[in-house]
Structure 1
Amino acid sequence: MTVLLLCVVAVILLVLGFEMFLVMGVPTLLAWLLLFPSIPPVALAQKLLGGVNVSTLLAIPFFIFAADIMARGTIAKRLTDLVKTNIGHVRGGIGHTTVVSCMGFGAICGSAPATVAALGRLLHPELLKARYSETFSLALIASSAECALLIPPSITLIIYGWLTGTSIADLFAGGFVVGVALGVAFMIYVQIVTWRTGAGLFPRATRGERILALRDGLVALGMPFIILGGIYGGIFTATEAAAVAVAYALLIEMVVYRSIGLKVLLEIAEGSAITVAVIFILLATGSMLSFLITLAQVPAFFTQLFAAWNVDWVVFLLIVNVVLLVAGMFIDPNSILLVLVPTFYPVATSLGIDPVHFGLVVCLNICIGMITPPFGLDLFVASSTLRRPVELIIRGIWPFIVVNLLVLLLITYVPQISTGILSIVR
């Protein structure tokens, strides 16, 4: 009864528009007072601060800073030009350029909102020139940015790895395969729309333009090769790779391209610091919440409940998908991870589900939540960046949600897609 009351309190706070750290934190403190009054306050303080005092989490501020540097600089434009000059002239080429550019930038920054903000202004006019509709163009940009949450370096996968103790390198390997699969699915849909509407043709770039774009774009593409090559080559860890990403971004934008000065860099650092602070407040609150969830034996309760119902891994993942899809409509991605992963992960492992497979199922659900009305974050980022009503984006987003659900079904019930590459990289 007490647990139900705490859930009601959380829902009320969410509906009233309180910040997510309060939506998680207030019920957590009430749970401590009502269920575990014998636990000294210092123990909760240790969980609050000690939960984020983990070296793995250092990757998050570094990757966010690197993403913000590249979003303000010229890497995004050069990457887009590289793709556009090579495939933009084929039927549907600009649509495919959007998907591939978002995948490429995602492989550099690891953030879906940053991808929308960096590439939206560049790609939206090009899509309209190619005679794609406004609603389709807006929805394509918002949806393609999802790949950034899957293709490494993914901040979402880093947080999942921290919560569950799963290898970040293994998650990155599986995320690369799933991210590419999602991107290919989007490109198939783009081609279908192109054939149906007759849009998508763009002038062919000259040989000189292609050579120039290749020269500029290869420098931008160097980052994912350095990061992933360094991780899987055993040169540095995922956390160290994040620091290398910042150094590379600074080198390219400040020395090679000279697109950012010291004053702009300080502004970028300030914005990155605010973003990191918001994430780490959530992570600290979530660490305390996970501690009390474990003490309350919530995971054990669900494990026993599913065992009593004779639920196998197929039905369990169906339940997880439904819960995560609904949660994604209303709650931000980091909060979903912090609340639901500690609850479901022990059940998943007890049913023999591979931690990497489960992590990518969770991450793909979060991707879908980023574009699902009414509160999908990428919808509002695209609306703000491109100065278009969010209702206009929502009108075109539904076919992309269907594509996402088809890919989710495939990833959920064909685990080899997520885990097959692990035998190669390990």
Structure 2
Amino acid sequence: MIIAIAVLGVILLLLGFEMFLVLGIPALVTKEAFFGRLPDPAVVQKIFGGIDHTTLLAIPFFIFAAHLMGSGQIARNLTGLVRSLIGHTRGGMGHTVIGGSMAFGSVSGSAPATVAAMGKMVYPEMRKSGFSQKFSLGLLVASAETALLIPPSITFIIYGWMTGTSIARLFAGGLAVGIFLGLAFAVYVMIESRRAGIQGDARTTWKERAMAVKTAGWALGMPAIILGGIYSGTITPTEAAAVSVVYAIFVEMVVYRNFGFGDLFRITEQSAIATSVIFVLLAMGGLISFFVTMAQVPTGISNFLTAIDAGPLTFLIIVNVLFLIAGMFIDPNSALLILVPPLYPVATSLGVDPVHFGMIVTLNISLGMITPPFGLDIFVASSTLGKPVLDIIKGVWPFVLVNIIVLLIVTYVPEISLFIPNLIFG
């Protein structure tokens, strides 16, 4: 049965069907072919009941907040603050792109939103600093990956919903892994800067830095509220997401006065469309996951690993290879919905910590965002900057290799993922 699902899904993908149909049609065909006695209302219940979860309310709120900040002044002020602090280092503009992406990711949780918000701001500045077009495009697209790891992360919310893992612990683990990935990119920026002879900006004075902090004060309030509230236990991730929307509207409309009610309506519409796309995928992914579980695929995988005497390390290699291949051809969120349900029970049975496994999965999802030929962030950057997709692909390959190195280290050094969660929550 699982072979039939896979073959039908591949055929639909090659024929150019939308991703929600690639997930949904095989599930419905499987139901009729193998589970004919299952009443039709049960399918409808799985589609709608699967996304009827309080945790998932955080997704539309964070998407809305990301669109508000990307259209307003918060993203620009955060980037300006980062540049004032580290712009004087060698290749300072490159480090600013990484730091700015991490800062924006700490209030948005979305890699595509980070690419769109940062692209027009930082790409011209990178070119002025002396970086090549290829490197500038690659760094812009790759650094946005940190938004999926630096909390709040929409990917962590989906993974936590699917597996029952504490989202607060996932956020804490993602903080360390996201910083680790950002530092790896920074090392590559330093290497490229030395090779190309690129210097940094003029060193800013402490007075100028204090002014930058003052200018970004309202913007800094966002991550303080979100992360401080969650880690202190004052508010849940869902409540933090709702607060972030109210805060962003207040800051952009009342404090900065960047847009009026007409702009707010337009941004709301864009956010609603983006949210609908994700929730349709979640609904269809939940349905096909139900039938995959009914087919006892996790048990089959576990029995296969036992037969070949494979331990956790071998299993995690298989996981990384599966996600790498899937990320090249399908939407990363779809890969998450397809692969996690059968793989997660096997991971826990082998003693892999759920938070550590979540970091591995999310790093793979991040990699899928920039992996040719269908990396989502590549197309977002192309649309935002008006650059050919092939030019962006040429620039992103070195960062794919850096990402793979980080993925392997995080995979086989669990302490990177678990140190902060254990420190905060025990």
Normalising by structure 2, report the TM-score: 0.98
Q: Is the 8 A contact 1:99 1:183 kept in 2?
A: yes
C-alpha deviation, 1:425, in angstroms: 1.4
C-alpha deviation, 1:209, in angstroms: 4.1
Per the alignment, residue 104 of structure 1 pairs with 103
Per the alignment, residue 172 of structure 2 pairs with 173
Counterpart amino acid of 2:331?
Answer: D
Counterpart amino acid of 1:243?
Answer: A
Q: 1:208 to 1:422 in 2, by over 3 A?
A: closer
For residue 392 of structure 2, give the secondary structure of its aligned residue in structure 1: helix
Q: Is the 8 A contact 1:94 1:200 kept in 2?
A: no
Per the alignment, residue 135 of structure 1 pairs with 134
Q: Is the 8 A contact 1:328 1:370 kept in 2?
A: yes
Deviation per CA, 1:377-421, whole angstroms, max 9, x where unpaired? Answer: 111111111111111111111111111011001100001110111
Per the alignment, residue 44 of structure 1 pairs with 43
Q: Is the 8 A contact 2:2 2:292 kept in 1?
A: no
Per the alignment, residue 144 of structure 2 pairs with 145
Deviates further, 148-157 or 87-96: 87-96
C-alpha deviation, 1:89, in angstroms: 2.3
Per the alignment, residue 322 of structure 2 pairs with 323
Per the alignment, residue 338 of structure 2 pairs with 339
Counterpart amino acid of 1:116?
Answer: V
Counterpart amino acid of 2:415?
Answer: Q
Query: Which residues of 2 match residues 213-232 of structure 1 at below 5 A?
Result: 213-232=212-231
Q: Is the 8 A contact 2:9 2:26 kept in 1?
A: yes
The gaps in structure 1 that reach 5 residues or longer are none
Distance 2:189 2:14 in 1: 37
Q: Is the 8 A contact 2:170 2:421 kept in 1?
A: no
Counterpart amino acid of 1:15?
Answer: L
Q: Is the 8 A contact 1:289 1:339 kept in 2?
A: yes
Deviation per CA, 1:55-93, whole angstroms, max 9, x where unpaired? Answer: 000000000000000010011111111111222122211
Distance 1:308 1:402 in 2: 33
Distance 1:179 1:204 in 2: 27
Deviation per CA, 1:154-193, whole angstroms, max 9, x where unpaired? Answer: 0001000000000000000001100000000000110111
Across the two proteins, how many residue pairs are aligned to each other?
425
Query: Which residues of 2 match residues 240-255 of structure 1 at below 5 A?
Result: 240-255=239-254
Per the alignment, residue 29 of structure 1 pairs with 28
Q: Is the 8 A contact 2:148 2:155 kept in 1?
A: yes
C-alpha deviation, 1:216, in angstroms: 1.3
C-alpha deviation, 1:336, in angstroms: 0.7
Matched, 1:14 2:24: no
Q: Is the 8 A contact 1:132 1:200 kept in 2?
A: no
Distance 1:229 1:41 in 2: 45
Per the alignment, residue 162 of structure 1 pairs with 161
C-alpha deviation, 1:206, in angstroms: 5.5
Distance 2:191 2:111 in 1: 25
Per the alignment, residue 281 of structure 2 pairs with 282
For residue 199 of structure 1, give the secondary structure of its aligned residue in structure 2: coil
Per the alignment, residue 184 of structure 1 pairs with 183
Alpha-carbon RMSD across the aligned residues, in angstroms, is 1.1
Q: Is the 8 A contact 1:89 1:202 kept in 2?
A: yes
Query: Which residues of 2 match residues 39-78 of structure 1 at below 5 A?
Result: 39-78=38-77
For residue 234 of structure 2, give the secondary structure of its aligned residue in structure 1: coil
Per the alignment, residue 119 of structure 1 pairs with 118
